A and B are shown apart, each in its own frame.
Chain A
Amino acid sequence: MTNPKPERETDKDAGLIHAINRGEAGRFGDLVARYQGRLYNFGLRLCNNVQDAEDLVQETFLNVFRHLDGFRQETKFKNWLYRIAGNVCIKKRRRSKFAPEPDLPLEDFMPGEGDALPERPPDWAVQPLDRLLDEELSAALREKIAALPEKYRLVVVLRDIEGFSTEETAGILDISPANVKVRLHRGRLALREALKGYFDHDPSPP
C-alpha cells in the first residue's frame, strides 16, 4: 500500500456530504469509513505514536460531526478535513509543550567553503526504491519525519506523503504558497541529512 498521487479532480465527497447535510445523518459512518485510514496514517506520521494518532482521528471526526452543516464546499471536503486535523495536531502540541520549536536555516544545509563534495550519488540514491525501502528504513524514516519541527513536518507530510499540491497545502495550513515552498525545501533537506546519517552509520547497507 503506497501513498496516493496528488488529486486535482472535483470533490468526490460532494454527494455524500450533501446527503448527510440533507438529513441522511446515518451516512456519516460512510464518511468515517472512507477517511479513517488516511487520517490515522496522517496522525501516525505527525506523531509517530499510536495513541496520539487515534486521539487525532477521534477529535477530528468529532469536530467534523459538529461542523459539517456549516461546510459550504468552497474547498474540497478532504482539504477541509485535513485543515481540522492539522489544527487538532497544533492545539495538541501547544497543550503539551511550551518550548518554541527551532527554525531550520537554509545555511545549515549548504556545504561550507572547502568541503569535499561528492561527484557521484550515494548507493541509497540510485538503488531501486522497492529494494531500499524495507521495514527498517520505513521505521527510521517515520522517526525522522516525526522529529522534524512541527511547522516543517506538517508541510512535508501534506505535500510529500498525503499528496496535496502547494496551493492546497497553503489553504489547509492558512499560510502563503511561498511559505509552503520554503518550509518544504528546508524540511526535505533536514530529512535528507537524517537519511545520510542513517546510511552512513548502517554497517550493512541494503
Chain B
Amino acid sequence: MTHPHHDPSHCRDLFEKMSEYIDGELDAKAAADIRRHLTGCPHCAVCRDTLQRTVDLCRGLPARPVPPDFSAKLALLVAEQLDSGAGGQEGARP
C-alpha cells in the first residue's frame, strides 16, 4: 500500500539527494523542494529519518582507549627514531 502523495519517479530523484539534504549541502531551491516533498510523502520522510539515524549512530560511536602497552610501544618507537636521526630520510612519499 502506497501513500497517495507518493510519486515514485519524484521520490527516486529525491532519494539520490537525501544525503546531501541531511548534510545541508544542497542549494536553497533544491533543499526547499525536498522539504516540501517530505511534508506530504511519509515514505520519503521515513527514508530521511532512517538515513539521518544511521549518520547519528556513526557520529555517536564511542572511541576506544589506546591500549597502554601499545602507547608505550609507540613512545619507544619515537625514541628509537630520534636516536637514529631518521627524520627527513628518503623513503616512499605518502
Instruction: Report the count of interface residues on B (CB-CB < 8 A).
Output: 54
Q: Are the C-beta atoms of A41 and B51 separated by less than 8 Å?
A: no
A141–B60 alpha-carbon span in the complex (Å): 11
Residues of B within 8 A of A188 (CB): 19, 51, 54-55
Known: A32-B75, A188-B55. A133 touches B61 (CB 8 A): yes
A54 at the interface (CB under 8 A from B): yes
Contacts of A192 in B (CB 8 A): 50-51, 54
Residues of chain A within 8 A (CB-CB) of B65 are: 37
Residues of B within 8 A of A124 (CB): 53
Query: A69 at the A/B interface (Cβ < 8 Å)?
Result: yes
Contact A137 to B51, CB < 8 A, known contacts A62-B81, A87-B94, A185-B18: no
The answer to whether A118 touches B43 (Cβ under 8 A) is: yes
Q: Mark A2-30, 1 if CB is under 8 A from B, else 0.
A: 11000000000000000000000110110
Asked if B8 contacts A29 (CB within 8 A), the reply is: no
Q: Does A181 contact B (CB under 8 A)?
A: yes
B residues in contact with A132, CB < 8 Å: 57
A32 to B86, CA, bound (A): 16
**Residue of A38, A80, A121, A181 touching B49 (CB-CB under 8 A):** A121
Distance of A70 Cα from B82 Cα, bound (Å): 17
The 8 A CB mask of A69-110 against B (1 = contact, 0 = none) is 110000000001001100100000000000000000010001
Query: Is B50 touching A185 in the complex (CB atoms < 8 A)?
Result: no
How would you classify the secondary structure of chain B's contact residues: helix, strand, loop or mixed?
helix
CA distance A205 to B75 in the complex (A): 43
A37 touches B66 (CB 8 A): yes
Q: Could you tell me the distance between the alpha carbons of A177 and B2 in the complex, rounded to whole angstroms? A: 35
Query: Given A28-B82, A61-B77, A69-B88, are A160 and B93 neighbors across the interface (CB < 8 Å)?
Result: no
Given that A32-B78, A160-B55, A192-B54 are known contacts, is A121 also in contact with B46, CB under 8 Å in the complex? Answer: yes
Q: Is the CB of A191 within 8 A of B53?
A: no
Chain B positions within 8 Å of A, measured between CB atoms, are: 1-3, 6, 8, 12, 15-16, 18-20, 23, 25, 42-43, 45-46, 49-67, 70-71, 73-75, 77-78, 81-82, 86-94
Query: A residues engaging B (CB < 8 A)?
Result: 1-3, 25-26, 28-29, 32, 36-38, 40-41, 44-45, 50, 54, 57-58, 61-70, 80, 83-84, 87, 106, 110-111, 113, 116-122, 124-126, 129-130, 132-133, 137-138, 141-142, 145, 156, 160-161, 163, 166, 181, 184-185, 188-189, 191-192, 195-196
